[in-house]
Amino acid sequence: MSIKLPKSLLPYKTWVFDCDGVILDSNRIKTNAFRTVVSDYGEKAAEQLVSYHVQHGGISRFEKMAYFFEEILRRKPEAGEVENVLDNFARASREGLMSCAESEGLRDLLGAIPEDVPRLVVSGSAQEELRDVFDKRGLSSHFSGIYGSPDNKITILNRERDKGVVGTPSLYIGDSKYDYVAATECGLDFVFIYQWSELREWESYFKDKKVPCFPTLRTFLELSQ
């Protein structure tokens, strides 16, 4: 039995989804991967990076590693050092990305969105890695575009809006402060999914922002009447 999209959601011209914490239960996988790949730099430095990573969910690994060297280690990386750490990060997180859970209700929601309405993934993950994971998990066919770093989310959303892909109104579904900031700056409505979010203070953060908050995509679909 097909599920119909609630009338309140029918006006959206484009649907935009974050990946980690919204489509996949992958936030903890990447947090642990960051801790692992910089452990040789010392426990204190590793925990500082993890803290920064959690506080800046949705920002790319490239920006986070730049912060790690500039602000935590306070030195310039040696030739190839950043690339080596990022390669190790990709290897450390890949197995988890292939096996972690999908959000409850994901495919029902995707199936309810009219076929002619664009559905995009806009993530802080590395774009080619993200596309490969989606291909292997059988998710790519559900989306008209899958985008990630090194471009940041605001750049991607503005680019797709200028191309006419992101219309008005459009909706961004995310799980971090940066997702909300990106959506707001680019003129999209925003829904917060908190089941797997690493934003611990989300209730106080969104208290005065009139942002709908749901544990899963299924509850969002069922309660958006």
- Distance (Å) of CA 179 to CA 58, 81, 145: 6, 29, 17
Per-residue confidence (pLDDT) for residue 138, from 0 to 100: 96
Per residue in 30-62, pLDDT (tens digit) is 999 999 999 999 999 999 999 999 988 888 889
Per-residue confidence (pLDDT) for residue 225, from 0 to 100: 67
Using the predicted structure, report yes or no on whether residue 143 has a pLDDT greater than 60: yes
Task: Give the Cα separation of 36 and 51 in Å (integer).
Answer: 14
Using the predicted structure, report yes or no on whether residue 3 has a pLDDT greater than 90: no
Question: Mean pLDDT across the chain, nearest whole number?
Answer: 95
Task: Give the Cα separation of 209 and 99 in Å (integer).
Answer: 35
Task: Give the Cα separation of 16 and 224 in Å (integer).
Answer: 17
Q: The whole model's pTM is what?
A: 0.92
Per residue in 98-115, pLDDT (tens digit) is 999 999 999 999 999 999
**Chain length of the chain:** 225
Per-residue confidence (pLDDT) for residue 2, from 0 to 100: 66
Q: 49: exposed, middle or buried (C-beta count within 10 Å: 0-12, 13-18, 19+)?
A: buried
Q: What is the 3-state secondary structure (H, E, C) of the chain?
A: CCCCCCHHHCCCCEEEECCECCCECCHHHHHHHHHHHCHHHCHHHHHHHHHHHHHCCCCCHHHHHHHHHHHHHCCCCCCCHHHHHHHHHHHHHHHHHHHCCECCCHHHHHHHCCCCCCEEEEEEEEHHHHHHHHHHCCCHHHCCEEEEECCCHHHHHHHHHHCCCCCCCEEEEECCHHHHHHHHHCCCEEEEECCCCCCCCHHHHHCCCCCCEECCHHHHHHHCC
Using the predicted structure, report yes or no on whether residue 92 has a pLDDT greater than 80: yes
